[in-house]
Amino acid sequence: MALWGGRFSQAADVKFKLFNDSLKFDYRLAEQDIIGSIAWSKALVSVNVLTVDEQQSVESALSELLVSVKAAPEQILQSDAEDIHSWVETQLIQRVGDLGKKLHTGRSRNDQVATDLKLWCKKTAHELIAHLETLEAKFIELARIHQGVVLPGYTHLQRAQPVTFSHWCLAYLEMLERDHSRLLGCLERLDTCPLGSGALAGTAYAMDRTALAHSLGFARATRNSLDSVSDRDHVVELMSCATLSMVHLSRMAEDLIFYNSGESAFIEMSDLVTSGSSLMPQKKNPDAMELIRGKSGRVFGSLAGMVMTLKALPLAYNKDMQEDKEGLFDALDTWGDCMQMAAMALTDLKVNKERTEEAAKGGYSNATELADYLVAKGIPFREAHHIVGVAVVSAIEKGVPLEELTVAEFKAFSDVIEDDVYPVLTLESTLAARKALGGVCPKQVEFALTEAEHRMSERNTSGIIIRPANLNDVDRIESMVNYWADNGENLPRDRADLEQSISEFTVTELDGKVTGCGSVHIYDTGLAEIRSLGIEPGYERRGQGSVLVELLVKQAEKLTIKRLFVLTRMPEFFMKLGFSPASKTTMPEKVLKDCAMFVTQHATDERALELNYKTSMLLHKDMSNN
């Protein structure tokens, strides 16, 4: 069923329909479209378009549809619907009749698709962050294992100066950390909700768009309806993040292909990520790395295509924008796949220490050390550079490395060279000399590696995804909170209360499902409470509690909350995170009244703790410096 047929007296041509319809790719937004529709139904209650009973019927039908879609998303493609929005609406009408036709009141497909796409981008960005963190952890692990392995460094693909394999790993870690930072920044900028912007001029129903945004897990509502429905900056920015990260992955792949070659033989890649030749039985081809290198082009192309699509588009929505999804989906899918494959390739990588050290000693890579030796003897660098160049030519003619020239032979180039030159020319000395910050000196590499490990430890690198909660999470939150309430750990919360407070919640995901939750509740006294902290039974002791509390503390700090407290039967857990025992008598009366039922009915041994911001900052600083 078309959503716009009343204006037309003839049906669309079949070829036009095939050309125009987007269901074949935007079906991936089904979950987001249903979640957004549930939130919109609640907003319609607030402006008296739907009654509470009608809304509950709509939400129940949409929730059933969501379960069905998650179980079998391919069912959507069997429809001839124009797009995912018309498919969801049709399914709703089939379940609740004419009531389903009221849902689109005050809403346009323009703000609907903009909201769906942002919700999808948020979810996908969190998944990509998890892939990035896994790959970063692999580089750190590899750097630690092969810390003592010397590797020839190259410029212009010619041996230049020796480095270490660990230093090489940490170079790519730096790139990935920048990718991580860019992705976080993109997430922060896209965290605005367009729903309620209508087709271009805003909705005619005076609903609270900020509350609507919060119910979907967005930080705030968008500020301008024209921009809201035509903004695709987040699409370009995510594709830009993917593009630059794929540049890094492609460079890494090229290095590993070169290191894996028979000419280098520095590494051997695992059988799990290589293939053989159909003709030559001796071959072991680095296909995974070659595909990463090759797939970078399709990501770059998607970005270029999107930018060209948006160039010179007038405000507000134009059908050109339908081209935003296929390239985005493909680019982010490809980026995620390549990060997972890169992590797999690094897992079983074998390094030929003897071969890399032999290569590092070749190519006169200690020539710079000889020049620095001459400088230390008082010879200007430019003159020293020339002297060493002549010495290298002589050594090449003799077929020996620099360190095998005799003192007499050295003196033919400069009288200042003595026996003390030989310790300077060793591989160990060459590495040790690069002792400034960021150099390959073993102490500097150890410092860099330790710092990297600390930076990763401050983040979540255990596969946990952490994100703002949305209405789709209410069932899981209600289950976890009330499970622990039954065990005397939490104040019980009913569904209506949780839905109203959803913007206060943060959730964690493990194994593809929500397995942790927590919230910060702000009182009008300026005091805030961490409450409803819950972990899915069976998922305890996997770091989710600490991750949640640390993020909730940061959120409170951003809101300039001066006092943050918690009531708990596990004081030791919170004390490790910077909380100190506190007296309930110091809390405002409103707080005590809110907590009284919990303390008396559920936990007589409940203890109050308050965040010591000074201790918390010292703990954070100590973790950073250890």
The residues carrying an active-site annotation are 156, 277
DSSP string, 12-26: PPHHHHHHH--HHHH
Q: Residue 206 is encoded by which pair of tokens?
A: 């005076």
Tell me if 530 sits within 8 A of 608, measured CB to CB: no
Give the residue among 234, 240, 245 at the shortest CA–CA distance from 135: 245
In the numeric block, the tokens 């032999």 are attached to 358
551/545 Cα distance (integer angstroms)? 10
| Greatest pairwise CA separation for the chain in angstroms | 101
504/468 Cα distance (integer angstroms)? 8
| Cis previous bond, 331, omega within 30 | no
Which whole-number Å values give the CA distances from 217 to 120, 445, 473, 499, 530, in the listed order? 12, 41, 10, 11, 18
Tell me if 564 sits within 8 A of 556, measured CB to CB: yes
129/151 Cα distance (integer angstroms)? 30
In the numeric block, the tokens 């879609």 are attached to 69
608/587 Cα distance (integer angstroms)? 10
In the numeric block, the tokens 């809403």 are attached to 107
What are the φ/ψ torsions at residue 163 (nearest 5 degrees)? -130, -160
238/261 Cα distance (integer angstroms)? 34
DSSP string, 465-503: EEEE--GGGHHHHHHHHHHHHHTTSS----HHHHHHTGG
